[in-house]
Amino acid sequence: MLYGQGESKMSDEIELKGKAARRAALRLAILDTETKNHALRGIAEQLIARQDAILEANARDVAAGRTAGLSEAMIDRLLITPQRLQAIAQDVLAVVTLPDPVGEVFDGTTLPNGLQVAKRRVPIGVIGVIYESRPNVTVDVSVLCLKSGNAVILRGGKEAAHTNAALTHAIVEACCAHSIPDGAVQIIESQDRALVLEMLRAHQYIDMIIPRGGAGLHEFARQNATIPVITGGVGICHIYVDKTADFNKALSIIHNAKTQRPTVCNALDTLLVHRDIAATFLPQLADMFAAAKVELRCEQRAMAMLEGHPAVHPATPADFDTEFLSLVLAVKVVDGLDEALEHIHAHSTHHSDAILTEDYSAAMRFANEVDSAVVYVNASTRFTDGGQLGLGAEVAVSTQRLHARGPMGLRELTTYKWVIFGSGQVRA
């Protein structure tokens, strides 16, 4: 997907909003926790108070998406129901209860010369978030940025333009009513893709960029940004079923990881099964997934064990490098943990991977050797989520190694500065 190309003068919209965000960030950085929490409570109230307008806007986007031929996976990501809106509002209130990281002092010490040295946690500044068809990101990112003292510039996809505008209106109204500076939360209204490139290069206004979308968006951001970029969220998630796995526990976990919400990045894509149990385990798996309407794409050994089962098809090599975002699962029989690890190393996007085993040594080896942002032992990959892991919400799931990894919450939206107290010391 092409998001923009070439050099050009910065548009008025990016420049004006960038300047406003920079001014707001200076004030947000010193705002007290209670003021920020009052604003967050106001946002939760506004979301519910404006439910009819938000749902009406979302219905327009969903209808346009269906007309445009969006897949059911994309429609599901786009859709807001009353229940989902209520859950979004509850997530906002959950952030209220979390500790404010700004001002936290750590790694303090007194040097032999009497200098008192410590690090103090501070906001990053202005965060730019470029995202596609998930309007809940508008709220999640806004509240986490506000609580962590950052201004945010949002650029959502055209598929959710009406919904994002309605959500942002509710957020800004609450901010205005609760002493949050103007420009703290802004959304880019133009759908011109050239503005994405402008955001990526607006280093005088934006301190960090977070792209949330498909691999094309992430690659474009990495190649074109002059600002630090946090990428992640593309998940080819694996589960390895070891020979010692408890079958009932394993089937329940796999069912949840694949079907609970198949259109998201932490849903299961590839299942690896130890050869010693495959002939018994795979037919049970196929029966379970036939009822759930999950299509299994099996490599040769798995295929030989499942001939005659409905919705079972031969896998292609590409299936093991695919984030399906649908009720499709790639299945492979492996000789053991060594081959499972080798497969994951070759095909992983470093998002979320799990082992199902009753063997402590195998569990520890998997946890130590799998290089992913989140590694599970005997649990569903669906827990890779800021709300589920106690962060209230998340701005992204980072699959990078620097600054932040995994679900990014409040603390991951801060940096630190050294604060040093002296009593007249000079350097010799």
Alpha carbon distance 286, 295 (integer Å):
9
What is the three-class DSSP state of 171?
Answer: helix
* pLDDT tens digits along 144-191: 999 999 999 999 999 999 999 999 999 999 999 999 999 999 999 988
d(CA 385, CA 41): 22
39: left (phi over 0), alpha (psi -120 to 50) or beta: alpha
- Sign of torsion over alpha carbons 377, 381, 384, 388: negative
For residue 321, name the pLDDT band (cuts at 50, 70, 90).
very high
CATH topology of domain 12-230+408-421: Aldehyde Dehydrogenase; Chain A, domain 1 (3.40.605)
Domain residue spans of the chain:
12-230+408-421, 237-383
Asked if residue 1 has pLDDT above 50, the reply is no
Q: Please, what is the average pLDDT of the chain?
A: 93
The structure tokens listed for 424 are 């007249």
pLDDT score recorded for residue 197: 93
Burial class (CB in 10 A: 0-12, 13-18, 19+), 325: buried
Rounded Cα distance, 146 and 422, in Å? 33
Distance CA 322, CA 176 (A): 44
CATH code: domain 237-383 is 3.40.309.10
> Is 151 in contact with 238 (CB distance < 8 Å)?
no
pTM: 0.84
